Structures are given as structure tokens and as C-alpha cells.
């Protein structure tokens, strides 16, 4: 199983730092990042990472100094440091790095898998080293708090180590003074021969028990001790000395007090552990001791159990009682008793118990006590039951899920699938289980999918785990359909397994295509309707108005004696009819300008701007494509409508004084830019809220540009005017237009 830890990555290369941190997080590690040495030291002291991946060359202080400060900081004693450098790669650099305390030196470039392996190795070493240091400190403290003197004696009698009790027993202030002495310095000459003989015997047998000697304090005062020792082996498995426990037996009262203190410590331990520690005689007719946890778990006072030892079994659930009593009779004396059962508390609640018992033998090997530990495993049992329920829910979800769910191994074999997957692929579960998932992947995608399996669907060679991937898939009869895949890794020990979630998005893709085509259909409908209305204005209403005008002239001519007032009314009606004809022509021209069809885009834009300038006093600066250069009709139409919509917006909303219209050829593209010096607005707010009146016009311009396979951009700020830029291809391909539109929509 991979070890995970907290890793600090210190490197001034932001891209490399991003690559390493992303990979390490996918490996399950928590990653901190720093771009400088000082920042790295600050994070190291704040968070105390397990491992620091450190670049040698940093912009402020070099990595060697960072490593030195980490390794000399007592608070960071368990932090491992690995240099990662692509420049400082010589032997001198490596030696310098290791001399400052580095634990590894990695030479760039190296692969991500190598990085993973090195990180795993360093984390194991770090954890082992930290555990060893903690164990040594634990044992040192444990030895130091023992009431007896503990010391390590060299086979030649020299004192190699000792605890504070050893120094105090001999009358010294500290253990350092002892390390300059031998055991013979603290014993009278009469004891030396026996001591040497006992040391030799202990080195041969491996142990020395309860040997009594006379020892001398620092001031020369004699006292008697009892010494037990065992041989301590060195690295080469040769005796390195005798680990000895020395007890002053001249004061039996102190020994008795120590015994009572030891018993009290046992009682405190037993009284505070959450398990029930119990002790009975062999036939279980007497409770010698039961810890207070019994009251919490069984819900009964301990005094009741002392008075009636069968109380514990009376509380066992009737369905479990016979089995448990039979087991404790037959197995308690063999050490095989280990039972799980239920007890019913006085309040009616039930607790699950795991009960174990072991025999205690005297010096002759006879069993004289039975001790046991009963643990309340109710929560654990509930967790097991919950796990079973979770498995049942998972099966229910698999059965009810509308998406296809397939579990595969690292080689792509299908291990499990749900009914939705059977329906999607038109295959039966029996047919698919054990088959390779490549059977549902089109041939053109199989190499890609296989590569993803080999790379655990991560990194540069495969899709990212958990992301949605659109690709075709195969049904039973070989037909293709659009599918959306989501691949997740099942985190279990051993070789990887994956769950694939599959959704048939054929209808979704069709709906998207319809949605993408809708704006173009709307624009076409608009143009068709404009052409129809323009034609009706020209052929219908204008003809009627002209006919009325002619009839008025005829009436005026047929009445020579017409009064001046009536003649003035007729003249006024004639003038109004002329204005109506001009307005209708202008409306018809805007709906479908004849200049656009007959003379081209440049002429139509020029005419339109002239009309607006006469009507509004807006000043126009035009820089257009020469009229002799005609574009495809659909391109000219959409560009003219964009110009028309933009200038109408400027007229209505911008309060501008001047407008600049630029249109030029750029290779196979036409670039159009309309800018003004008006009020301006927040373009982002317009697109987000669409509350401003010209929001629909902006959308219309954008859709026209996208329908040509082009791009549309608007830049505006309050008080700084507005600039609209459009860039479309000269030759419009319907297929290409759709592709461009889709990408723009995604952007």
C-alpha cells in the first residue's frame, strides 16, 4: 500500500512545480508549494512536512542553505530533504548536499513514476526513522522513569549508559560521571572475581538473574543490590554488553512501597481502560477483580458481580448464552476462548461484546487464575452492519441507475455491469462479464484507451481521472452512438481497477445541433420577412400612395375655380404624400437595400451612413473595401446587418459625435470594426444580465458573425466609447461554419 504524506515542493520553476504538485496530489499526498528559499523555510517551520523536494538553485538563498537550516532545527528533526536539480549535478554538488544532511539527491530530468517511487521510498525511510527515534525516546524515557537503576555494562566492566536512578543510587549528580567508571569502581575488591565470573556466565547463557552484590556509593558507603541482566547484541549480532537492572535491597520498605506503587499503577490502568478487565479463580466461582468499565458496558455495579459472579452470564442474550457458557467451560483454560455475544442492559438496550480469556500459571505450571478482556464492539458491529447495508444500497443503485456502470480491471476485463449498461450496449450481462472493454470501443479509439489503462488514466498519456470524455461507442450489432464516459479509479490494494460511467448522449447531441442551428434559422427568417415587407412596401403601399397623389393632382386640375384655401390644403396633402413615399422608400431600403444587391457592401454602407448623417448629424469616417471587390452575397448581407445594427445602437443609445467604420481584407478574412466616442457601457454586464435595451442587438450581431464561421468581440467601458470587431472568412463553408460556431460557444 502506498504511503502518503505532507510534501513541501520548493522550486522557482512554476510550471515544473505545477506538474510535480498535480502528480503528487493525484498520488494521494498533501502538497505545499514555495517558489523561494525563505518561503520554503517559513512553510517548513509552520507545517513540518514529512518530505521537502528542494531545488538547489533558488532566487534568494540556495537550496543547500535551506537544507542546512532545516537539518539544524530541532523542531524539524523528522523532516526528510531530497534535492532535485538539473544544473547542480556534479559529484561536488551531491557531496555538498549530503554533507548538509540531505537524504536524497535527484538529478533532473526524471520521470513522474521515478519521482513517485523515490517519494514512496523516502516516506518509508522517514516514517521508519521517525518511528525508531520515537521508540528510542520512548524506551529512554521509560527506562529513565523506572524506580530501579538501569545500566549497560561493557563485557570488560565499563559502564556504557545508565539512567538517572543509577546515578542517584550511587550518589552522583548525573549519569555522565558514571560513564567514566567501571563496575569495579563501585564494588569492593572482594566482589571482583565473582562479578567477572557472572559476566562471563551471562555472556554465555544470555541472562543473569537475581545476583546479589555489595556496592559502594560515591562516598564509600556500602549497600546491597540485586542485579538481573540480559545480553544486548550489537549490529554484528555479537554481545555489546549487559543490560542490567539494579535494585537496592538494603531497604525492604522501599521495595514494598515500590510494589504497592506498581499495584496502584496497575489499578489506575485497569480502572481507566475502556475494556472490561476481569480476573477469576479457575472454576469461576469467585471474581478476583473486574474493572469499572463493567458498570458502563453491562450497566450494573461491580459490587453486584463480586457478590454474584453469575451476574455477567445472566445478562447475556438468551440466543447467545448457551454457546458462550459452553465455550468458556471448554476453552478458557486453553487460551482459545474468544467469543462475540450480546448482553442486555437493565434499561433494555443491547451491547455487542467481544470476550477473550487466558489462563495464568504459577511457577509449577499449574493454572491458578483466569484473566480476560471484554470489549464493547457495538459501534464496530454497527459499522459492519452498515457496510452490509451499503453493499446492498450499492447493488440497488447499480440496478436502478439510468447511466451505464461498468467495473473493469487493469487489463480492461469487465468485472461488473448494471442493467443500464446492458441496455445501452444491447448486450447481455452474461455476454459482457469477462470480456475486454475494447469490444465496446471503436477500433480507432482502442489504442488511446489501452494507453490510458497502462498509464492509469492520468498524466500526459491518458485522460484525467474523473473528467467527462465524449467518444463514440459500439452496440452489439456494431452500430456507433455518441457516449459520455467518466472513469474513476477504485482505490484498493494491489493492481488498479476502474469504474466507467457511460451515458448515451445521442439525443443530447442532436438537441445541441438543433440549438446551434436555431439562431441561423432565426436570422434567415428575419431576412426573408424583411424582404417580404420591403417588397410589399415597394409594390403595394408605395403604388397606392403614388396613385392617391396622381388623383389629387387630377382633382386640382379639374377644378379651376377652386378657392385658394382648398388649393393650399391639396398642396399640403401632396407634400405629405411625398414625405410618406420617401419614408416608405427609406424603410424598404433599410429592410433590403437595393444598393447591397446591385452595387455591393461598400456602396450600401456608404449610402446608409450618409442617410444617418443627414438625419442625425453624426460624423462618419469610412475606410471600406473598394466597391469593385465583391464578397459572397451571404457575407455582404450579414456584414451590412452588423453595420446597420451597430450604427442604430449608436444613434439610439451612445450619444456619440463621431463614428469610425473600417472594413478591410486580411488574407482569406474580412475584418470589420465599428467604433464610436459615445457614452460606452459595461459589456460584461450587458451579456450577463441582458437588461439593457441593446442587449438583443448585440446578440444578433454576435450570432450573424458566428453563422459565418467568424469571431465577434465588443470592447466598451462607461465614458470611453464602444468598439465592435468582427472577423469572418471570405469563403463561407457551412460545415466549417458549424465547427467554428461550436468552438466559439464553448469559449
Task: Write out the E strands in 144-195.
Answer: 149-153, 159-162
Q: Is 138 exposed, middle or buried (0-12, 13-18, 19+ CB in 10 A)?
A: exposed
679 within some domain:
yes
Tell me which of 467, 496, 525 is where a domain ends: 496
The residue with greater pLDDT, 583 or 445, is 445
Tell me which of 224, 250, 276 is where a domain ends: 250
Q: How far apart are CA 697 and CA 707, in angstroms?
A: 15
Q: Which pLDDT belongs to residue 6?
A: 92
R_g of the chain, CA atoms, integer Å: 47
Q: Note the pLDDT tens digit of each residue in 163-219.
A: 888 888 888 888 888 877 888 888 999 989 988 898 888 888 888 888 888 888 888
First vs last C-alpha separation in the chain: 42
**What is the rounded average pLDDT of the residues 117-134?**
83
In this predicted structure, which of 310-314, 350-354, 398-402, 459-463 has the lowest mean pLDDT? 459-463
222, containing H or E segment: strand 222-233
Whether pLDDT at 738 is above 50: no
Same domain, 720 and 682: yes
**Secondary structure (DSSP) of 357-414:** EEEEE-TTS-EEEEEEEEEE-HHHHHHHHHHHHHHHHHHHHHHH-SSEEEEEETT-BE
Whether pLDDT at 691 is above 60: no
Same domain, 276 and 362: yes
77 within some domain:
yes
C-alpha cell read off for 488 = 474513476
Give the 3-state secondary structure of residue 512. helix
Same domain, 421 and 530: no
Cα dist from 285 to 17, 279, 366, 729, whole Å: 70, 11, 18, 100
Contacts of 645 (CB under 8 A, 6+ apart): 697, 700, 701
**What is the rounded average pLDDT of the residues 244-262?**
73
**What is the rounded average pLDDT of the residues 357-382?**
88
Same domain, 477 and 516: no
C-alpha cell read off for 703 = 450570432
Contact, 449 vs 438, CB < 8 A? yes
Same domain, 573 and 597: no
Q: Which pLDDT belongs to residue 736?
A: 36
> CA 736, 738, 741: angle at the middle one, nearest 5?
110
Q: Which pLDDT belongs to residue 737?
A: 38
Give the 3-state secondary structure of residue 538. helix
CATH at residue 734: 3.30.565.10
Tell me which of 123, 140, 157 is where a domain ends: 140
The CB-based long-range contact list for 452-458 (8 Å cut-off, 24+ gap) reads 452/487, 453/410, 453/411, 453/412, 453/498, 456/489, 456/496, 457/487, 457/489, 457/498, 458/23, 458/26
CATH at residue 317: 3.30.450.20
Same domain, 619 and 740: yes
182 within some domain:
yes
Q: How far apart are CA 734 and CA 693, in angstroms?
A: 31
**What is the rounded average pLDDT of the residues 537-548?**
69
Q: Which pLDDT belongs to residue 33?
A: 92
Closest alpha carbon to 455 in 498, 416, 493? 498
498, containing H or E segment: strand 497-504
Task: Write out the E strands in 18-79.
Answer: 30-34, 51-54
331 within some domain:
yes
Of 26-35, 403-412, 464-473, which has the strongest mean pLDDT?
26-35
Same domain, 616 and 535: no
The residue with greater pLDDT, 477 or 701, is 701
Contact, 56 vs 102, CB < 8 A? no
Q: How far apart are CA 497 and CA 407, in angstroms?
A: 7
388 within some domain:
no
**What is the rounded average pLDDT of the residues 27-46?**
91
The residue with greater pLDDT, 513 or 170, is 170
Closest alpha carbon to 52 in 32, 24, 25? 32
Question: Considering the chain, what is the average pLDDT of its residues?
Answer: 80
C-alpha cell read off for 124 = 518509508
Q: Which pLDDT belongs to residue 311?
A: 81
Give the 3-state secondary structure of residue 499. strand
Sign of CA dihedral 64, 66, 67, 73: positive
Same domain, 519 and 477: no
Q: 733 is in which domain, residue-wise?
A: 593-746
**What is the rounded average pLDDT of the residues 145-152?**
79
Q: Which pLDDT belongs to residue 726?
A: 93
Contacts of 682 (CB under 8 A, 6+ apart): 716, 717, 718
Q: How far apart are CA 62 and CA 39, in angstroms?
A: 12
Same domain, 570 and 598: no
The residue with greater pLDDT, 133 or 371, is 371
Give the 3-state secondary structure of residue 3. coil
> CA 459, 461, 467: angle at the middle one, nearest 5?
60
Q: How far apart are CA 18 and CA 24, in angstroms?
A: 10
Closest alpha carbon to 170 in 210, 135, 219? 219
* Residue 640 preceded by cis peptide, ω within 30: no
Q: Note the pLDDT tens digit of each residue in 671-684.
A: 999 999 998 888 77
Q: Which pLDDT belongs to residue 384?
A: 82
Q: Which pLDDT belongs to residue 452?
A: 73
Same domain, 132 and 15: yes
Report how many helices (DSSP H) and strands (DSSP E) the chain contains, helices first.
25, 25
Percent of the chain with pLDDT over 90: 12
The DSSP letter of residue 90 is S
605 within some domain:
yes
Categorize the per-residue pLDDT at 7 as very low, low, confident or very high, splitting at 50, 70 and 90.
Answer: very high
Backbone angles phi, psi at 163, to 5 degrees: -90, 175
Provide the angle, in degrees to the nearest 10, between the axes of the packed helices 734-746 and 506-536: 110
The residue with greater pLDDT, 622 or 99, is 622
Residue with the three cell numbers 465547427: 739
Contact, 216 vs 190, CB < 8 A? no
Q: Based on the structure, what is the number of domains in the chain? A: 6
Q: Which pLDDT belongs to residue 743?
A: 33
583 within some domain:
yes
C-alpha cell read off for 405 = 456502470
Q: How far apart are CA 267 and CA 279, in angstroms?
A: 13
Q: How far apart are CA 303 and CA 299, in angstroms?
A: 12
**Secondary structure (DSSP) of 291-318:** -THHHHHH-S-HHHHHH-TTHHHHTB-H
**What is the rounded average pLDDT of the residues 156-166?**
84
Same domain, 360 and 416: no
Same domain, 423 and 347: no
Count of other CB atoms within 10 angstroms of residue 283: 8
Q: Note the pLDDT tens digit of each residue in 294-329.
A: 888 898 898 888 888 888 888 999 999 999 999 988
Q: How far apart are CA 454 and CA 476, in angstroms?
A: 26
Categorize the per-residue pLDDT at 695 as very low, low, confident or very high, splitting at 50, 70 and 90.
Answer: low
Q: Is 525 exposed, middle or buried (0-12, 13-18, 19+ CB in 10 A)?
A: exposed
387 within some domain:
no
β pairing state of 468-474 and 480-490: antiparallel
Count of other CB atoms within 10 angstroms of residue 487: 24
Amino acid at each position: 500500500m502506498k504511503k502518503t504524506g505532507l510534501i513541501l515542493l520548493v522550486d522557482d520553476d512554476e510550471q515544473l512545480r505545477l506538474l510535480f504538485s498535480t502528480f503528487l496530489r493525484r498520488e494521494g499526498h498533501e502538497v505545499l508549494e514555495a517558489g523561494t528559499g525563505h518561503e520554503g523555510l517559513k512553510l517548513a517551520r509552520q507545517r513540518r512536512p514529512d518530505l521537502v523536494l528542494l531545488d538547489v538553485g533558488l532566487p534568494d538563498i540556495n537550496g543547500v542553505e535551506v537544507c542546512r537550516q532545516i537539518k539544524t532545527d530541532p523542531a524539524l528533526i523528522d523532516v526528510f530533504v531530497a534535492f532535485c536539480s538539473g544544473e547542480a549535478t556534479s559529484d561536488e554538488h551531491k557531496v555538498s548536499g549530503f554533507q548538509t544532511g540531505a537524504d536524497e539527491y535527484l538529478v533532473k530530468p526524471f520521470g513522474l513514476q521515478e519521482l513517485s517511487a523515490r517519494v514512496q521510498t523516502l516516506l518509508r525511510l522517514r516514517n521508519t526513522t521517525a518511528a525508531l527515534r520515537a521508540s528510542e525516546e520512548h524506551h529512554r524515557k521509560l527506562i529513565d522513569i523506572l524506580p530501579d537503576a538501569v545500566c549497560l555494562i561493557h563485557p570488560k566492566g565499563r559502564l556504557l549508559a545508565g539512567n538517572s536512578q543509577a546515578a542517584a543510587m550511587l550518589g552522583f549528580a548525573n549519569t555522565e560521571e558514571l560513564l567514566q567508571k567501571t563496575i569495579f569502581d563501585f564494588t569492593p575488591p572482594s566482589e571482583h572475581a565473582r562479578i567477572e565470573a557472572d559476566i562471563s556466565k551471562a555472556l554465555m547463557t544470555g541472562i543473569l538473574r537475581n545476583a546479589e552484590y555489595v556496592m559502594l556509593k560515591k562516598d564509600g558507603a556500602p549497600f546491597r543490590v540485586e542485579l538481573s541482566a540480559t545480553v544486548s547484541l550489537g549490529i554484528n549480532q555479537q554481545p555489546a554488553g549487559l543490560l542490567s537492572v539494579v535494585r537496592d535491597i538494603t531497604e525492604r520498605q522501599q521495595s514494598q512501597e515500590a510494589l504497592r506503587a506498581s499495584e496502584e499503577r496497575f489499578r489506575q490502568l485497569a480502572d481507566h481502560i475502556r475494556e472490561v478487565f476481569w480476573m477469576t479463580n479457575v472454576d469461576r466461582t469467585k471474581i478476583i477483580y473486574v474493572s469499572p468499565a463493567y458498570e458502563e458496558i453491562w450497566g450494573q455495579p461491580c459490587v453486584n458481580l463480586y457478590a454474584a459472579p453469575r451476574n455477567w452470564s445472566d445478562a447475556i442474550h438468551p440466543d447467545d448464552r448457551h454457546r458462550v457458557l459452553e465455550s468458556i467451560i471448554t476453552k478458557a483454560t486453553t487460551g482459545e476462548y474468544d467469543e462475540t455475544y450480546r448482553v442486555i442492559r437493565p434499561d433494555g438496550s443491547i451491547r455487542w461484546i467481544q470476550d477473550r480469556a487466558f489462563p495464568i500459571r504459577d511457577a509449577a505450571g499449574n493454572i491458578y487464575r483466569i484473566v480476560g478482556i471484554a470489549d464493547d464492539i457495538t459501534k464496530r458491529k454497527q459499522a459492519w452492519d452498515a457496510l452490509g447495508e451499503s453493499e446492498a444500497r450499492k447493488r440497488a443503485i447499480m440496478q436502478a441507475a439510468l447511466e451505464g456502470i461498468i467495473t473493469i480491471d487493469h487489463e480492461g476485463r469487465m468485472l461488473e455491469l448494471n442493467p443500464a449498461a446492458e441496455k445501452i450496449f444491447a448486450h447481455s450481462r452474461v455476454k459482457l462479464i469477462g470480456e475486454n472493454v475494447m469490444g465496446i470501443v471503436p477500433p480507432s479509439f482502442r489504442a488511446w484507451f489501452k494507453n490510458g489503462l497502462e498509464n492509469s488514466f492520468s498524466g500526459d498519456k491518458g485522460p484525467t481521472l474523473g473528467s467527462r470524455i465524449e467518444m463514440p461507442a459500439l452496440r452489439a450489432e456494431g452500430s456507433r452512438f455518441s457516449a459520455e464516459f467518466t472513469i474513476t479509479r477504485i482505490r484498493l490494494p494491489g493492481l488498479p481497477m476502474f469504474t466507467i460511467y457511460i451515458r448515451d448522449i445521442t439525443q443530447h447531441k442532436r438537441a445541441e445541433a438543433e440549438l446551434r442551428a436555431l439562431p441561423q434559422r432565426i436570422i434567415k427568417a428575419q431576412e426573408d420577412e424583411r424582404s417580404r415587407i420591403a417588397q410589399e412596401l415597394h409594390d403595394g403601399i408605395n403604388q397606392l400612395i403614388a396613385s392617391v397623389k396622381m388623383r389629387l393632382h387630377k382633382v386640382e386640375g379639374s377644378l379651376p375655380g377652386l378657392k385658394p384655401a382648398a388649393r393650399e390644403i391639396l398642396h399640403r396633402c401632396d407634400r405629405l404624400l411625398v414625405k410618406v413615399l420617401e419614408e416608405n422608400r427609406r424603410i424598404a431600403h433599410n429592410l433590403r437595400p437595393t444598393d447591397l444587391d446591385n452595387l455591393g457592401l461598400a456602396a450600401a454602407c456608404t449610402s446608409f451612413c450618409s442617410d444617418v448623417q443627414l438625419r442625425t448629424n453624426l460624423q462618419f469616417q469610412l475606410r471600406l473595401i473598394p466597391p469593385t471587390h465583391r464578397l459572397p452575397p451571404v457575407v455582404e448581407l450579414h456584414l451590412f446587418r452588423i453595420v446597420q445594427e451597430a450604427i442604430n445602437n449608436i444613434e439610439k443609445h451612445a450619444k456619440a459625435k463621431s463614428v469610425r467604420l473600417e472594413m478591410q481584407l486580411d488574407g482569406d478574412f474580412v475584418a470589420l470594426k465599428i467604433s464610436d466616442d459615445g457614452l460606452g457601457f459595461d459589456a460584461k454586464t450587458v451579456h450577463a444580465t441582458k437588461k439593457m435595451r441593446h442587449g438583443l442587438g448585440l446578440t444578433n450581431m454576435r450570432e450573424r458573425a458566428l453563422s459565418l464561421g467568424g469571431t465577434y468581440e465588443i470592447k466598451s467601458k462607461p465614458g470611453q466609447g464602444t468598439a465592435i470587431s468582427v472577423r469572418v472568412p471570405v469563403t463561407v463553408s457551412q460545415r466549417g461554419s458549424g465547427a467554428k460556431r461550436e468552438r466559439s460557444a464553448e469559449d
